[in-house]
Chains A and B, each alone.
Chain A
């Protein structure tokens, strides 16, 4: 199956700092999705990207679909304690039927 490399694996930041994480793949995806997962919960969709080059914002979150269709990044500006969680990128392959997940970025925000 396709592999997604997500980095960094973990981040420890101070409240108010900006955060950036990214995913890369050796294969092309048609759709990139970013999810947040909190302890004991399922992943919750944050941002969906459907076109190469697309830049989309959701509040303090901004994500971009790379031009090559093999990468995506997620930025969080002015982090707050409730941003704590695991962030996953996911790519929908060209056949459209399988979603592949990155390994996740564990974010810790210190007040």
Chain B
């Protein structure tokens, strides 16, 4: 089972460059999320989407953009990369968001370094 797939796994960017982290899920989940995790810290929500065509900001959206043109895909774009965006990025998805039976599944992470 593929689950949540993120690419690339590792990337080094120069300051000011742009890039897109790809995320796709094959579970037909409505909800998708992007988190970042800094060393020794918990996960911070960047953006999330409750369905195709709908996106919302999380805790730390500055410097990022997302789109959700299909149920399966939720790419995260970094415009004008900055050293502060050096982090591990996790994409996640869930079928429904609610108190009955919802769980959230994560991809394996994308390690991004901005130099």
A-to-B contact residues, CB < 8 Å: 1, 4, 6, 30-31, 33, 35, 40-45, 48, 50-51, 88, 90, 92, 95-104
Contact = CB atoms under 8 A, between A and B. Distances in A.
Interface of B: 31, 33, 35, 40-45, 48, 50, 56, 58-59, 90, 92, 96-109
Chain B interface, >50% SS class? loop
Nearest first, the 8 closest Cβ-Cβ pairs linking A and B are A96-B97, A30-B99, A42-B106, A101-B42, A96-B98, A101-B43, A103-B42, A97-B97
22 contacts: A30-B98, A30-B99, A33-B104, A35-B106, A42-B106, A43-B106, A44-B106, A48-B102, A50-B99, A50-B100, A50-B101, A88-B43, A90-B43, A90-B104, A95-B97, A96-B96, A96-B99, A97-B31, A97-B48, A101-B35, A102-B42, A103-B42
Nearest to A51: B99
Q: Which of B44, B101, B106 has the most CB of A within 10 A?
A: B106
Given A97-B50, A97-B97, A41 B108 contact: yes
Contacts of A98: 45, 48, 58
Nearest to A10: B40
Nearest to B43: A101
A6 to B, nearest CB: 8
B48 to A, nearest CB: 6
A30 B103 CA distance: 12
